[in-house]
Amino acid sequence: MKAALPTTFFILFSTILHSQNFANLIRQANGGNVGAQYSLGLMYYTGDGVPRNYKLALQWYKKAAEKGDTASQFNLGKMYDNGDGVPEDDELAVKWYTKAANRGDAASQFNLGLMLHAGEGVRKDYKLAARWFKKAAEQGLEDAQFNLGIMYLKGEGVIEDMVTAYAWLSNSKANGYDAGKVLDPLKEKLSREQISAAQKMAKELFHKIQNREDKGPFYWFD
């Protein structure tokens, strides 16, 4: 029985401390603190330390999103996109993804590109989809790099260019995307000169992106 006392005390102390921290977070959020509003939204969305409540998550995300918080704008767009606790609404998803995308959020840029490409919640626009995919691709998002490569391969929203397609697909593969199923047959269609030009472009893109993201040591493998 004595051995259980420290554990019981620790649990009680932790509960009290959590309650105090949560109450403080609520006060800050009600006072207009954007970081606190986002944190509450995340807690309610994931059920971390509180019962999961999508309605409250949406409420706090929206407060922070309306003040320009990029992460909240993305998460709000995602909730409307997936129908998490709200009716699925592609137009509202596009609205919030656009706000976050314009603030440089790569995930929002990619998702906005997907919706523009599919015509979900917005008029289908391959040219604009390619533009947003490129913005996300230039930040190193491998999914966007792959999609951009495919658009160059098909000539969707951009001038068809197999060399540029190869370069972006190579970058997506270097970042972990399973692009080999597209790259291998594409390589067979290219001349030796085109392959050389594509590999050169791919390396230049890779290093430019890595330098932009200010990463540590990195290596390119052919």
Per-residue pLDDT of 140-163, as tens digits, reads: 999 999 999 999 999 999 999 999
Out of 143-157, 187-201, 202-216, least confident range: 202-216
Give me the pLDDT at residue 23, please: 85
The CATH number for 115's domain is 1.25.40.10
11 located within any domain: no
- Residue 110 in domain: yes
d(CA 173, CA 202): 11
94 and 143 assigned to the same domain:
no
Cα first-last separation, the chain: 64
| Residue 209 and residue 154 share a domain | yes
Identify whether the C-beta of residue 73 lies closer than 8 Å to the C-beta of residue 103: yes
Model pLDDT, residue 19: 58
**Residue 107 domain flag:** yes
Distance (Å, rounded) from C-alpha 6 to C-alpha 14? 12
> Average pLDDT in the 7-18 region?
39
Asked if 46 and 52 count as a contact pair (C-beta separation under 8 A), the reply is yes
Query: At residue 220, does pLDDT exceed 50?
Result: no
Tell me: do 135 and 172 sit in the same domain: yes
Task: Give me the amino acid identity at 26.
Answer: I
Domain of 178, in residue numbers: 129-215
Residue bearing tokens 């390396």: 203
Check if the beta carbon of residue 113 is closer than 8 Å to that of residue 130.
yes
Last residue of a domain, one of 109, 124, 139: 124
Q: In whole numbers, what is the pLDDT of the chain averaged over residues?
A: 88
Domain termination residue (choose one: 83, 106, 124)? 124
- Same domain, yes or no, for 119 and 137? no
pLDDT of 144? 97
Q: Are 190 and 116 within one domain?
A: no
Domain count, the chain: 2
Contacts of 96 (CB under 8 A, 6+ apart): 65, 73, 74, 76, 77, 80, 108
User: Rounded to an integer, what distance in angstroms lies between the CA atom of residue 146 and that of residue 133?
Assistant: 9
